[in-house]
Amino acid sequence: MRYWLMKSEPDDCSIDDLARRPGSTVPWYGVRNYQARNLMRDQMQVGDAVFFYHSSCPQPGIAGIARVSSPAYPDATQFDPASPYHDPKSTPEAPRWLNVDVQFVRKTPLVPLAELRSHTELANMRVLARANRLSITPVDPAEWRFITRELMGLDNDGI
DNA sequence: GCCAACGTTGGC
DNA sequence: GCCAACGTTGGC
């Protein structure tokens, strides 16, 4: 099992929005970056653990835990002309963009970005790398353990 | 609203 | 294949 951090703008879908959805599940649509797409396609597996991160908001940080609940499949929004994520160059025969489904596990105390940055144990976290723009980044098991145990006070990796 | 940094596009 | 211009991300 792998660990991930996935960014979502809470105005669009917050951890509370995820918890309220049918089946507590949301398709992680709208990824339009090849690196992030390839991570979903090639590396993610059902059951992988996810930090749900709130970005572009007053209090950026990790707001909860989720799990990957489907393999990658074509992102429906790429074919929808009314969607902001519409991609006219993509076709159902050769879909360019994929998404996985993500399921709610728990809400956690918010771990602000500034706090993540303050811990030497997390100095190499991908999401903290200078000018990181990937909306999906891998998390090392040791980083996951540190955050869930020491910063959130959770046992069993919080999952 | 600003701006740094990066990915993508498209002309050549 | 190079690279300038442009668009986007996302913290502050």
**How far in angstroms lies nucleotide B10's C1' from the CA of residue A36?**
24
Confidence of residue A131 (pLDDT cuts 50, 70, 90): confident
Confidence of residue A126 (pLDDT cuts 50, 70, 90): very high
Nearest CA among A24, A108, A105, A32 for reference residue A64? A108
Q: From the Cβ of A114, is strand C under 7 Å away?
A: yes
| Average pLDDT across chain A, whole number | 95
Mean local confidence (pLDDT), A102-130: 96
Domain boundaries, chain A: 3-154
Least confident of A12-16, A39-43, A83-87, A116-120: A83-87
* pLDDT surpasses 90 at A130: no
* pLDDT surpasses 90 at A25: yes
Q: From the Cβ of A88, is strand B under 7 Å away?
A: no
What pLDDT does A89 receive?
87
Mean local confidence (pLDDT), A57-69: 97
**How far in angstroms lies nucleotide C11's C1' from the CA of residue A133?**
11
Nucleotides of chain C touched by protein CB (<7 A):
8-12
Nucleotides of chain B touched by protein CB (<7 A):
4-8
Fold (CATH) for A3-154: ph1033 like fold (3.10.590)
What pLDDT does A37 receive?
95
Mean local confidence (pLDDT), A102-113: 97
Least confident of A27-36, A71-80, A86-95, A132-141: A86-95
Mean local confidence (pLDDT), A9-26: 96
